[in-house]
């Protein structure tokens, strides 16, 4: 499964990639929301992990856009602010989970695994799969 | 308060002064009037003496005139010779000089020899009774005084006199009843002097003045005694001569304005003066008015009471004086009442001012203004009241000061918390990113199999300490959160389930089961999802911390009435763990800020305090139940808004 991770902090992206790839996930990354949206549109992404606070378009915008464009594509919000700041204004529709920074690899993998398990293959299939 | 009490006080002052004034008016006025009347009566009594003197002087002049005439020898000679014409001539001169109404000479046997007037004496004319001559002959000496003359005598002397003497009686109020309609007798001042030649009586000279309808006597009395004083167009003083009880000469006027000749004295006075011969000195009804009067009897030459002499002044004048006096009394009373009212008003103000001040002060205090200054200036009970009030005020002020101080401390604390929180929030985001890196890479290193035991131990230390940093930052962020709630109608079960879903991953990582038991038909609840989400997450994370791997956490929702105000229904959300439990002593303090049972660095002690604040802002409650070794239950109660949520 292809997991898209969106964060303006490259250290976070690298850490997540290092944690998820050994678990068998294909990881793609983006450092801003608009680029992430382009990737969602172009690649067969099965899951998105998105930081809420980012320069430019933020994670909330991204989650909404994904919910509009690819309903059913699970998105997990990541935030340095635990709820509620992290979750403030989070659209619950399309939000599959929440991960508070900082997190351990175990928590990350468990969250991703839990979300991925609930997603049916049909909806997880991206346009690129066909 | 002031106006009503003042009105009462003024009214009682008025009452007292009115009572006093009225009593003074009645008693004083009456006493004064009596004194006045007595004084007037005394004066009139003196006036009567003066009147009598005038009456007597008239008589004396008459007597002198006749006696002087007798001294003339020519009269004797002519009489002796019965030489009548010169005698008549002499008599006429005498009458003119002495202003006599009648005059004549009688023989020694009493028969009239000659007289003045139109009817000369004749030996043929029938003899008439001449009371003056008769008495003079009886006594063989001169006589003078008041004398009653009958109609026959007057007719004989001069028919004009008889006519003048005739008086029609006029019905008079309050007079004694009397028969007949006219008085024909005349009352006169007269004198008779015997003419004597040695021992031989030659005759008697007589003469007099008819008083009937005579103005001279009464008017000269009025003039001399009362100076013709006029009161309201009428003569103030009056004088009257009575023949019996009939006015024959008077200047008392009838209401028609004529002299009241022919009217009669009141029965009471007549009885007293004519009947008993006493003086009358009192008020009396004269013709048509009340007068202050004096009467005395007139005695004739034979010492018979034949008439009365009267003087009197109009009582109306004294009544006027009385009215003026009463007016003055009334004025004084009214002035006194005005003064009393003013005094009462001023006194009321003076007495009530402190009470008014107290009332005002309590009003201001009840409005919450404790800055009222109340200086006790009054003595007595009101002073005590004022001091008590002032004490109460200062106690209230002290209490308010303490409360304000506490509030200020509270405010300072929360401001401090807020600024710490803003700082923490700013820092936290910056810290959390690098912290994520540290945590991730440390844990990933720890997964490697090829680590030496000492390296692994060091890495584990790094991981543990990093985790501690994570908790500290989280606590700071929770504490910083102090935002007003923004509620929206929320279906509780759905909302709870979504939160549980968010934490499912973290629970699974710790191998803790997250189960739920959600009641159906719950009402929609107005809540701030964002803030209550952190509350529920805080409770869940606490439960996760307390729960050993392998155990379950149960989240339940149910319809519940608040344990407090009855009838208010709401929703209870309970988080039940089978963890270590909280000792009773600590349980009472779990909602206190900065209270924590976790080891130093593991918790900030703010989570539950913040949660409680948020729930209370929703009008809800959180209660904690726990038993050591069995587990804890945290129950959030939120008031419902009625609408049932579909199952």
Lowest mean pLDDT across B65-74, B309-318, B558-567? B558-567
Before B246, cis peptide (omega within 30)? no
Q: What is the pLDDT of residue B592?
A: 65
Residues from chain A that touch B436, judged by Cβ atoms under 8 A, are 11-12, 15, 80, 101-103
CB B261 within 8 A of CB B276: no
Q: Whole-angstrom Cα distance, residue B355 to residue B1?
A: 9
Q: Whole-angstrom Cα distance, residue A19 to residue A27?
A: 10
Tokens representing B316? 């109306």
DSSP secondary structure of A60-107: HHHHHHHHHHSTT--EEEEESSPTTTTTTT--STTEEEEEESS--HHH
DSSP secondary structure of B116-145: SSSS---TTSPP---HHHHHHHHHTS-EEE
pLDDT digit string, tens, across residues B424-433: 667 777 788 8
> B586: which residues sit within 8 A by CB, 6+ positions away?
B595, B597
Determine whether the interchain pair A110/B443 forms a contact, defined as Cβ–Cβ distance below 8 Å. no
pLDDT digit string, tens, across residues B206-239: 999 999 999 988 999 899 888 888 888 788 899 9
DSSP-derived 3-state class of residue A27: strand
Q: Can you tell me the ipTM of this complex?
A: 0.78
pLDDT bracket for residue B144 (50, 70, 90): very high
Residues from chain A that touch B444, judged by Cβ atoms under 8 A, are 15, 18-19, 105
CB B577 within 8 A of CB B546: yes
Nearest CA among B323, B346, B176 for reference residue B246: B176
Q: Kind of pairing, strands B112-115 and B102-107?
A: antiparallel
Residues 450-489 of B with CB under 8 A from A: 463, 466, 470, 474, 477-478, 481
Over 50: is that where the pLDDT of B38 sits? yes
Determine whether the interchain pair B505/A83 forms a contact, defined as Cβ–Cβ distance below 8 Å. no
B532 to chain A: closest CA residue: A84
Q: Which secondary-structure segment (H or E) carries B107?
A: strand B102-107
DSSP state of B271: I
Where helices occur in chain A by DSSP H, the ranges are: 10-20, 33-42, 59-69, 105-118, 121-124
Q: Which residues pair with B255 in a beta bridge?
A: none
pTM of the model: 0.48
B426 to chain A: closest CA residue: A81
Q: What is the pLDDT of residue B122?
A: 72
Of A87, A98, A102, the CB nearest to B439: A102
pLDDT digit string, tens, across residues B371-386: 777 776 677 777 888 8
Tokens representing B23? 């009593």
A18 CA to centre of own chain:
16
Over 90: is that where the pLDDT of B296 sits? yes
CB B200 within 8 A of CB B292: no
Q: What is the pLDDT of residue B39?
A: 87
Residue given tokens 């309808």 in the structure block: B213
Tokens representing B522? 């719950």
User: CB burial class (10 A; 0-12, 13-18, 19+) of residue B618?
Assistant: buried
Tokens representing B159? 């028919």
B440 interface with A at CB cutoff 8 Å: yes
Over 70: is that where the pLDDT of B278 sits? yes
B432 interface with A at CB cutoff 8 Å: yes
A99 to chain B: closest CA residue: B502
Determine whether the interchain pair A110/B531 forms a contact, defined as Cβ–Cβ distance below 8 Å. no
Q: What is the pLDDT of residue A126?
A: 41
Of A101, A105, A115, the CB nearest to B433: A101
Nearest chain A Cα distance for residue B428, angstroms = 7
pLDDT digit string, tens, across residues A120-129: 543 444 443 3
A106 interface with B at CB cutoff 8 Å: yes
């Amino acid at each position: 499964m292809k997991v898209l991770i969106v964060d303006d902090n490259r250290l976070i992206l690298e850490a997540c990639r290092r944690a998820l790839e050994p678990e068998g996930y294909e990881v793609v990354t983006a450092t801003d929301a608009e680029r992430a949206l382009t990737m969602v549109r172009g690649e067969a992404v099965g899951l998105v992990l998105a930081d809420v606070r980012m320069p430019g378009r933020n994670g909330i915008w991204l989650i909404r856009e994904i919910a509009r464009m690819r309903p059913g594509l699970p998105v997990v919000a990541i935030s340095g602010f635990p709820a509620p700041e992290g979750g403030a204004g989070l659209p619950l529709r399309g939000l599959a989970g929440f991960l508070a920074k900082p997190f351990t690899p175990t928590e990350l993998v468990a969250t991703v695994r839990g979300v991925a398990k609930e997603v049916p293959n049909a909806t997880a299939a991206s346009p690129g799969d066909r | 308060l002031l106006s009503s009490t003042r009105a009462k006080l003024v009214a009682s002052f008025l009452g007292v002064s009115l009572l006093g004034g009225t009593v003074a008016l009645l008693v004083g006025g009456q006493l004064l009037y009596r004194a006045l009347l007595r004084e007037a009566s005394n004066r009139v009594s003196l006036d009567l003496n003066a009147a009598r003197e005038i009456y007597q002087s008239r008589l004396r002049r008459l007597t002198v005139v006749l006696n002087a005439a007798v001294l003339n020898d020519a009269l004797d000679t002519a009489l002796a010779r019965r030489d009548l014409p010169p005698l008549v001539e002499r008599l006429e001169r005498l009458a003119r000089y002495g202003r006599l109404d009648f005059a004549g000479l009688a023989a020694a046997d009493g028969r009239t020899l000659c007289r003045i007037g139109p009817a000369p004496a004749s030996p043929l004319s029938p003899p008439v009774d001449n009371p003056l001559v008769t008495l003079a002959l009886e006594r063989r000496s001169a006589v003078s005084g008041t004398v009653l003359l009958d109609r026959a005598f007057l007719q004989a002397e001069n028919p004009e006199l008889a006519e003048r003497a005739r008086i029609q009686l006029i019905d008079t109020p309050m007079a004694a009843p009397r028969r007949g309609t006219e008085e024909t007798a005349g009352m006169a001042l007269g004198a008779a002097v015997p003419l004597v030649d040695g021992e031989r009586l030659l005759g008697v000279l007589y003469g007099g003045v008819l008083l009937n309808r005579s103005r001279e006597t009464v008017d000269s009395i009025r003039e001399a005694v009362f100076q013709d004083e006029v009161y309201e167009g009428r003569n103030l003083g009056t004088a009257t001569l009575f023949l019996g009880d009939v006015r024959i000469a008077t200047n008392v006027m009838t209401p028609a304005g004529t002299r009241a000749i022919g009217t009669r004295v009141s029965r009471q006075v007549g009885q007293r003066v004519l009947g008993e011969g006493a003086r009358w000195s009192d008020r009396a009804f004269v013709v048509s008015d009340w007068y202050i009067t004096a009467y005395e009897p007139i005695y004739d030459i034979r010492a018979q009471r034949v008439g009365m002499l009267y003087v009197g002044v109009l009582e109306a004048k004294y009544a006027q004086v009385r009215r003026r006096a009463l007016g003055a009394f009334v004025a004084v009373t009214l002035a006194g009442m005005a003064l009393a009212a003013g005094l009462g008003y001023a006194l009321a103000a003076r007495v009530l001012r402190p009470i008014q001040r107290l009332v005002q002060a309590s009003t201001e205090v009840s409005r919450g203004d404790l800055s009222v200054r109340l200086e006790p200036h009054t003595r007595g009970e009101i002073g005590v009241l004022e001091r008590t009030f002032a004490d109460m005020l200062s106690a209230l002020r002290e209490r308010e000061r303490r409360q304000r101080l506490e509030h200020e401390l509270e405010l300072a604390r929360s401001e401090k918390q807020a600024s710490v929180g803003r700082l923490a929030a700013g820092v936290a985001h910056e810290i959390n990113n690098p912290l994520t890196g540290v945590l991730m890479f440390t844990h990933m290193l720890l997964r490697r199999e090829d680590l030496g035991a000492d390296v692994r131990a060091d890495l584990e230390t790094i991981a543990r300490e990093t985790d501690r940093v994570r908790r500290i930052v989280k606590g700071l962020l929770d504490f910083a959160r102090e935002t007003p709630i923004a509620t929206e109608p929320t279906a509780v079960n759905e909302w709870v389930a979504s939160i549980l879903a968010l934490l499912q991953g973290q629970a699974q990582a710790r191998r803790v089961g997250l189960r739920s038991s959600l009641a159906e038909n719950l009402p929609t609840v107005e809540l701030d999802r964002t803030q209550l989400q952190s509350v529920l997450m805080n409770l869940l994370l606490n439960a996760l911390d307390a729960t050993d791997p392998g155990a379950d956490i149960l989240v339940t929702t149910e319809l519940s009435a608040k344990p407090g105000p009855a009838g208010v229904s709401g929703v209870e959300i309970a988080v039940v763990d089978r963890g270590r439990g909280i000792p009773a002593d600590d349980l009472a303090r779990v909602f206190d800020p900065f209270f924590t049972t976790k080891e130093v660095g593991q918790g900030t002690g703010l989570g539950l305090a913040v949660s409680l604040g948020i729930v209370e802002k929703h009008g809800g409650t959180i209660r904690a139940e726990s038993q050591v070794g069995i587990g804890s239950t945290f129950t959030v109660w939120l008031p419902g808004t009625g609408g049932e949520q579909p199952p």
